[in-house]
Amino acid sequence: MKKLALAALLSAATTLPAMAADYIVDTQGAHASINFKVSHLGYSYVIGRFNKFSGNFSYDANKVADSKIMINIDTTSVDSNHAERDKHIRNDDFLDVNKFGSAKFVSSKVEDLGNDKLKVTGTLTLQGMDKEIVIDAVKIGEGKDPWGGYRVGFEGSTKIAMKDFGYKMDFGDITFDLHIEGKRQ
């Protein structure tokens, strides 16, 4: 009987959601991406991503408001699948990577909207300017991984106006699609 009770207790413990925990964004396993879309002269879109970024977050499904997120982006790693265009994006018309080799997002507020939907407010530092942005996010899932760790995944999207960050060339809004999987530390 004691063995049955212990087995039931252990089984229940492994199905509980993660309590307040710190996670590191899994960029090594290619389980995270920061993608963007911007108008190309009004004719189509340039689609791209940042190949190098890092970050961490704290998350508790029972206390979502206590969550914190921090992401650092290496802007020199911009990749639109076209080498000449990438050079142009890196120059001072756009990212000006020689002056601003990184961008950063730090959350200030995370709201639980129900049904795993979140509203993440924070400061985006880009081109040396700090602007508040809102990311609409959804928790995809969480649980044990095959290697004995624990993971949680989210996706989100936001738009920023190029003019708000002082771009010399303004093609309107940039849409960011974010896919983040974290490994519990």
- Any idea what the CATH number is for the domain that residue 134 is in? 2.40.128.110
In a domain, 10, yes or no: no
Position 5 in a domain: no
In whole angstroms, give the CA distance from residue 177 to residue 158. Answer: 7
Q: Specify the pLDDT at position 30.
A: 86
Q: What is the mean pLDDT of residues 148-172?
A: 92
> What is the pLDDT, as a whole number, of residue 1?
45
Tell me, yes or no, whether 123 lies in a domain.
Answer: yes
Examine residue 4 and state whether it is found in any structural domain, yes or no. no
Identify the domain containing residue 56 by its residue range: 20-184
* pLDDT-wise least confident of 2-16, 112-126, 131-145: 2-16
Its pTM stands at: 0.87
Distance CA 120, CA 122 (A): 7
Q: How many domains does the chain have?
A: 1
Pairwise CA distance, residues 151 & 96, whole Å = 35
- Residue 3: its pLDDT value, please? 45
50 within some domain: yes
Exposed / middle / buried, residue 169 (Cβ in 10 Å: 0-12, 13-18, 19+): exposed
Please, which pLDDT band fits residue 7 given cuts at 50, 70 and 90? very low
pLDDT for residue 10:
43
Query: pLDDT band at 165, cuts 50/70/90?
Result: very high
What is the tens place of the pLDDT at every residue in 39-95? 998 899 999 999 999 999 999 999 999 999 999 999 999 999 999 999 999 999 899
- The mean pLDDT value of the chain amounts to 91
| Rounded average pLDDT over 4-11 | 42
Distance of CA 171 to the CA centre of its chain: 23
Q: Would 2 be classed as within a structural domain? A: no
Q: Is residue 13 part of a domain?
A: no
pLDDT range class, residue 152, cuts 50, 70, 90: very high
Q: Is residue 11 part of a domain?
A: no
Q: How confident is the model at residue 19 (pLDDT cuts 50, 70, 90)?
A: low
